[in-house]
Chains A and B, each alone.
Chain A
């Protein structure tokens, strides 16, 4: 068994029996579910809306090179600069270059899962550049030295007491502050940082080809500040975040808000088209957009998996997933967790190390049902399973097991020959390990199927 898979099984085993963890997670996800049910009422026909959204993302991804080039041309015209990064190292080098050129000592950053993907914080810290998370949830996680737990709500698994204790330990404030007081503590610390930082780094929710701009969705105002106060703005994202037109936001902003946080619209939705224009009051002198591939082209190249690139990272599939609900975000051991993480991780990384995630699913289809762009997530999980079998990534014992199973099932005599006890023993030998130690294998009956049907008086 591969290292990642072993870790996953051990961590899952621990998490599902951690009642405190379960209580916090269930509480948060119940709130998320209630908000979603309320938020989606803004759509008179959500099903058709999702179909239209999927068509738009299909068009965008099928013509990805055309739209990305149009974006670059238009963004250049606005005075911005596009940096293409094939992999993590190129993205990190590009950011370090901008830092060095401007002798940057401190950076403010808003929420961006892509920066988690390339481990930007660790990299810059190693180069003695301070990088501060400004989203409250991310700030909490950074203080705790822990990765985000959920792509939309990074500190979802922490109770208010956990956060109060953390702030007490790290920031030297009284130990029993309320969420309002804790928020104010973070606000006051971070406000000074926006003005002092030389560079602001943000993520991107949508790349807008027709105007050469980017769109950022948030509730707190930290992305707005990070993109406006420092003299340099660097925005980074994966190439799949493309939309053909700024006018697609009329649909995608409310769609993302409802599925991400159950809102009709988030508090701040901003479009950035470049650095400060000559006659404008303030804003950054330079703006860079880093477009990261990092093996997304592997998803693009596979027509069966391509639709996973339509994802708008709302996190809705995590919230409804019975597996996520039980094992939580960190257990996946990936940047992207939940159903979408299980689908794309084998493509974005070494497939052999991440294929097991696609098997950790009951294929209930809740993810597919909730997805705002109608990605057939549970089909894609099956697709990954097939890939894993075809690429021989399944353990030898399971492969042998299925070979024997197939051989016997193709011959009636072989099926009828051993007794029930022998069959139970044999199947136990072959599949016990894969069946799971907490599940009981069903026992075979003493009679064979043939005997059973022959003895029935009314059988034909």
Chain B
């Protein structure tokens, strides 16, 4: 299928021009929070595990969740989810929400990066009516390209069978261009961002 006749480069002057979005952000946490919130996601900043459990418990009580699925052993053991009676309380099919960790977070686009290699697998994050993500400030990178590099390095060339870049709740504008959330994926997305170095009790940039 080799081409009989080749065409010249359309813009020879730009053959060596690299593409990247300008990184003016001095605070990736603030940038991520701003973008994720703009996409109808919500961020809870947590100083350590007790505050994380407290935040999840509060949200679960407020929403009347009776069954939250978590398939990540590290989270279940490490985060002491047994303190939350609603975690893994019933079958997956009846779950009101699902909890997962993530590969990393893209600040510029407010994106949570997930993969099939995580214990939560492919389906839990997209099938759950509500998705709760537990992440750390160490997971923050600036752009999509940085996230791809991080995933490639982590799996050293053996990429997971699927990598997902999820930015906020599922949405559609297919009926008269009207925005509706929660078509096939989750209608609500909450991110619990762990920052153990935080000293201040209140953080105005979180919402």
Given A32-B177, A49-B19, A270:B119 Cβ within 8 A = no
Which parts of A184-199 form the interface with B (CB within 8 Å)? Answer: 184, 186-187, 190-191, 194
Report which residue of B1, B35, B161, B180 has the largest number of chain A beta carbons within 10 angstroms of its beta carbon: B161
Neighbouring B residues of A213 by C-beta, 8 Å: 159
Neighbouring B residues of A228 by C-beta, 8 Å: 122-123, 126, 162
**B76: min CB distance to chain A, Å:** 14
Q: Scan B155-198; emit 1 where CB is below 8 A from any A CB, else 0.
A: 00001111111111111111111101011111000000000000
The total of interchain contacts (Cβ-Cβ below 8 angstroms) comes to: 233
Given A272-B161, A280-B160, A250:B20 Cβ within 8 A = yes
B116 to A31, Cβ gap below 8 A?
no
A403 to B21 alpha-carbon distance, docked (Å): 55
Neighbouring B residues of A449 by C-beta, 8 Å: none
B116 to A52, Cβ gap below 8 A?
no
**B41: min CB distance to chain A, Å:** 10
A366 interface hit (Cβ, 8 Å): no
**B133: min CB distance to chain A, Å:** 14
Neighbouring A residues of B118 by C-beta, 8 Å: 281
A51 to B35 alpha-carbon distance, docked (Å): 27
A220 to B19, Cβ gap below 8 A?
no
Which parts of A166-191 form the interface with B (CB within 8 Å)? Answer: 179-180, 182-184, 186-187, 190-191
A277 interface hit (Cβ, 8 Å): yes
Which residues on A are within 8 Å of B, measured CB to CB?
A: 27-28, 31-32, 42, 44, 48-49, 51-55, 58-59, 62, 64-65, 78, 134-137, 140, 153-156, 158-160, 163, 179-180, 182-184, 186-187, 190-191, 194, 211, 213, 219-222, 224-225, 227-229, 246-247, 249-251, 253-254, 261, 264-277, 279-283, 287, 297, 300-301, 303, 306-307, 374
**B96: min CB distance to chain A, Å:** 14
Neighbouring A residues of B17 by C-beta, 8 Å: 48, 51-52
B interface: dominant SS: loop
Report which residue of B7, B145, B149, B176 has the largest number of chain A beta carbons within 10 angstroms of its beta carbon: B176
Neighbouring B residues of A300 by C-beta, 8 Å: 1, 3
A183 to B120, Cβ gap below 8 A?
no
A interface: dominant SS: helix
A27 to B178 alpha-carbon distance, docked (Å): 11
Closest 9 CB pairs of A and B: A221-B185, A281-B121, A250-B145, A137-B174, A228-B122, A221-B184, A220-B183, A179-B175, A269-B165
Neighbouring A residues of B11 by C-beta, 8 Å: 51-52, 54-55, 374
Neighbouring B residues of A276 by C-beta, 8 Å: 116, 122, 161
Contact of A179 among B2, B160, B176 (CB under 8 A): B176
Contact of A220 among B6, B10, B160, B172 (CB under 8 A): B172
